[in-house]
Every structure is written in C-alpha cells, then in structure tokens.
Amino acid sequence: MKDYVRVGLIGFGKQGSHYVRMFIEHRLFSRFRLTAIADTCPQKLQWIKDNIGPEIECFDSAEAMLSSGKIDACIITTPHPMHPEHVIMCLQHGIHVLCDKPAGVHILQVQQMNREAEKHPDLVFSIMFNQRTNCAYRKLKSIIETEEYGKVRRISWTINNWYRSRYYYDSFDWRGIWKGSFGGTIMDQCPHQVDLWQWMFGMPDKVTCRMGFGSHHDIEVEDEVSAIMEYKDGCIGTFNASTSVPNGQNTLEVNLDAANIRIRGNSVFVEKFCMPEAKWQQSPRGIYEKMDVAPEVEIPTDGKNAQHKGVIEAWINRILGKGEGSNDGKDGLASVMLSNAMYMSAFTGKSVSLPLDGQEYYNELMKKVKASKSKPPVKDPLAPVRETFQIKDPKQVEAYFGIVERV
C-alpha cells in the first residue's frame, strides 16, 4: 500500500473550492494528494486550469474521473440530491468515498446507497459530519450516555444563525426550489443540527412540525421551521430554525433529572440541582418553594473542534489503515429520516411516527417536486468559487504541489 492516497473531488462549487483552498492554504494532508476534479460546468474547469494549475487533472463528468485510474478516493460536494448516486458510482468503481452532508434528500435513495456500501466493506465510506467533532457536542453526548445527571427530560434548540439573503438563493440554480434542493432550512442549512440531534438524543418516536415555505424569501422551500420531537419516556424537544433572522443565535438547552445544561459556542455550562428533581418534589415544601440549584459553571472539555479537517484526516487515515475514528457513512440515514419526518408532518399537517416509511414520504415529496418551477440560469456561476477561493499568496498553490510531490 502506498503511504499516500490520490484524492479526487466531484463538484467544484462553493464547498468544493473551500476544501481545495483549505488543502492548499493550510498545507494539509501530506498523506494525500489532490489529483483530480470533476465538474459539469466548463467555466469552473477552465477556472481551475487558470488559477490552480496543471497538477489537478480536470474531468467534465464524475464517470470519466472515476474510471480514469487517477484516484483512489473521492470527496463529493455536488448538490445534495446527487449525493447517493455519486457515492454509489464511487463504490462501484472501487473508490473510497467521503460524501458531504446530507447523505441524501430522501430515505429511499439513502437506503439504496447503504445497500451498495454493504457490498463494499473494503472501501471506507464516510459522511462529512463535521459538527460531530465539536468538543461541546461530544461532551454533551457523553454526559447523556453516562446518565451523570439522569435522563433527558426536555430539549430546546433554536438555530437562527443560518441567515441567508436573496443573493444566496440567486447564486445557485438548484437552491430554493423543490426540484433542485428538495428542501430548504432543514435540508440545506440544518442537516448538521438534525444529525447532532439524533446522534446525541436518539431518534424521537413522534415528530410534529410546521414550516413556513418562502415566508421571508422568494423561494419555494421552507425558511421557517418549528418542530416538536416526542420520546416514549416522556422527553419532549423543540427544534426551531430560521434563515430569516439577522444576528440570530444558536441556543441549546437540555434539562435533565438533576441538572440543566446549556451550550454556548463551543462551551458547555451546567447548573446542578441539589438532588434529582423527582426526589425533591416528594418531600413536603412551601407551595412555591424552589429547589437549591448551584450557580452555572462551565464544564471542561478537551477543547478540540477539528471540523472538516478532522473528518477528512480520519477518513484518509482509515484508508491507509493507520487509524480508527472515521464515521460510517451508512449512519447518514438516521438524520435523513428525521428530516423527512419533519417535512412529512409539515406537508400533511399531522404528527408523524418514526420510523418513517420511505415510499410514503417519497410520494408526498414528489407532489412538491412536480409542482416546482425551474429557476433561470445563474448569471455568474463562478461567483461562489471566486468568493471562496481567495488565497492570499498565490505562491502557496505552487508550494502545496511542491510539498505533495515530495510525499
């Protein structure tokens, strides 16, 4: 086995160019060599030749790159409805694959992708669950698993910090419409939090959700969401999200049997009760008496938040047989199912029990897709790339390829 991996990328748009900039600017990953990029947009391929150089081979289709023999592994950053089809193509070509979030847009296509992954246990398939690397969420997950403060009773998560302008929707020909993105705030901005929800708290048994479709933007899909997640053990959670709030906040509070926990930024804070609430309420008290709660203190974490870099490194290391820690891409199904349940409830006006039937959801989703209108082509397809791929010193590009040549 070589001690480096030849990596290709499918989809050189805003996120794809962000990864390439990250590799170059931070001189990342001596264990891998970015060798090829596939994109169906000719202007982007020309832009790569003009601005990055001949070291990266360009292909006008994923198929051509995957069958070129030039790559061992591939990162997928195409629009999310295409993720399962591109993952399947990689696996069928014997290529390790890291797919950006979300795993797909509906259950059936993700199940099909996972069936293909089952056939290739020798290939490393991961999903870009970069928010799972955040020390605050990892700490909260371990607190819940160890039941240090008892069971979770209530969860309140408001995610209003994904503000998006009209320019954002106008910059992509697939975003904002059902037949392009198959969803809005939940499918496009919040896959991270939907995934973290099921990863930390487990899948709810029932979901009730209301969405505002194009409430504050000229779009077909949702820009306002309020969902109630119910668990059989009595825990109730609320998940609120909006892409319309300037200076919106991301606030997560979890109320447990014996403590309240709040996440602010990358920090975790706890308010410990003097005893579990269920025990305290059994003794005779003053009618409005409140129990003693210790002042809020910060809980130490390991402070690590490796994000995209960490996920890519773990994936590469596992391909090289030099480490564990990369996630299993098949886990992407749970968050797609949870997001589909939110849409199903919003579409039908009813509560939805989990697990959700993939075919039933697909039928409802297709009603939206069939009624969806096309967008005019974007005026400047290179704008997202130019905005993202700003390398301060052009010599860094040369230096990066110099480094990887010596691997």
Ligand X SMILES: NC(=O)c1ccc[n+]([C@@H]2O[C@H](COP(=O)([O-])OP(=O)(O)OC[C@H]3O[C@@H](n4cnc5c(N)ncnc54)[C@H](O)[C@@H]3O)[C@@H](O)[C@H]2O)c1
Give the residue nearest to ligand X (CB).
Answer: 13
Can you tell me which of 7, 15, 45, 239 binds ligand X, judged by CB under 6 A?
A: 15
Residue 312 is a binding residue for ligand X (CB under 6 A): no
Q: CA–CA separation, 294 vs 373, rounded Å?
A: 55
Instruction: List Cα–Cα distances, 291 to 154, 257, 258, 280, 294, in angstroms.
Output: 18, 13, 11, 7, 10
Residue 130 or 158: the one with the smaller Cβ distance to ligand X is 130
Q: In this complex, which beta carbon is closest to ligand X, that of residue 78 or of residue 327?
A: 78
Q: Which of residues 380-399 bind ligand X (CB under 6 A)?
A: 384
| Among positions 130, 133, 193, 242, the unique one binding ligand X when judged by CB under 6 A | 130
Phi, psi of 75 (to 5 degrees): -105, 135
Q: Minimal distance in Å, beta carbon 49 to ligand X?
A: 15
Shortest CB 81 distance to ligand X, Å: 8
User: How far from 251 is each of 77, 239, 247, 302, 398, CA to CA, in Å?
Assistant: 28, 10, 13, 21, 42
Closer to ligand X by Cβ: residue 82 or 314: 82
Sheet holding 206-213, edge to edge: 297-299, 267-272, 259-264, 250-256, 152-159, 236-242, 222-230, 206-213, 352-353
Smallest distance from the beta carbon of 82 to ligand X, in angstroms? 6
SS3 content of the chain, % helix, strand, coil (to 5): 40, 20, 40
Q: Per rule CB under 6 A, is residue 14 in the interface with ligand X? A: yes
Q: Which of 117, 128, 241, 258 binds ligand X (CB under 6 A)?
A: 128
Q: In this structure, what DSSP letter does residue 3 have?
A: S
Between 121 and 376, whose beta carbon lies closer to ligand X? Answer: 376
Our finding on whether 108 is near ligand X (CB under 6 A) is no
Contact (CB, 8 A) for 297 and 269: yes
Only one of the segments 36-44, 66-74, 158-166, 287-295 lies at the binding site for ligand X (rule: CB under 6 A); that segment is 36-44
Q: If binding means CB under 6 A, how many residues of this protein chain bind ligand X?
A: 24
Based on its alpha-carbon atoms, the radius of gyration of the chain, rounded to whole angstroms, reads: 23
Q: Is 180 in the site for ligand X (CB under 6 A)?
A: no
Q: Does 80 help bind ligand X (rule: CB under 6 A)?
A: yes
Instruction: Please choose, out of 32-40, 196-204, 210-218, 229-237, the segment that lies near ligand X by the rule CB under 6 A.
Output: 32-40
Nearer to ligand X, 40 or 68 (CB): 40
Check residue 44 for interaction with ligand X (CB under 6 A). yes
Q: Does 79 bind ligand X (CB under 6 A)?
A: yes
- Please answer whether residues 344 and 361 qualify as being in contact, where contact means their C-beta atoms are separated by less than 8 angstroms: yes
Q: Are 150 and 255 in contact (CB under 8 A)?
A: no
List Cα–Cα distances, 301 to 37, 195, 219, 267, 268, in angstroms. 38, 21, 40, 8, 8
Q: Is the dihedral of CA 244, 12, 38, 306 positive or negative?
A: negative
Q: For ligand X, which residue of 6, 96, 101, 330 counts as binding (CB under 6 A)? A: 101
For ligand X, the closer of residues 22 and 354 by Cβ is 22
Identify the CA nearest to 184 among candidates 264, 129, 244, 137.
Answer: 244
| 41 part of the interface to ligand X, by CB under 6 A | yes
Q: Which residues bind ligand X (CB under 6 A)?
A: 10-16, 38-41, 44, 62, 77-80, 82, 100-101, 128, 130, 172, 384
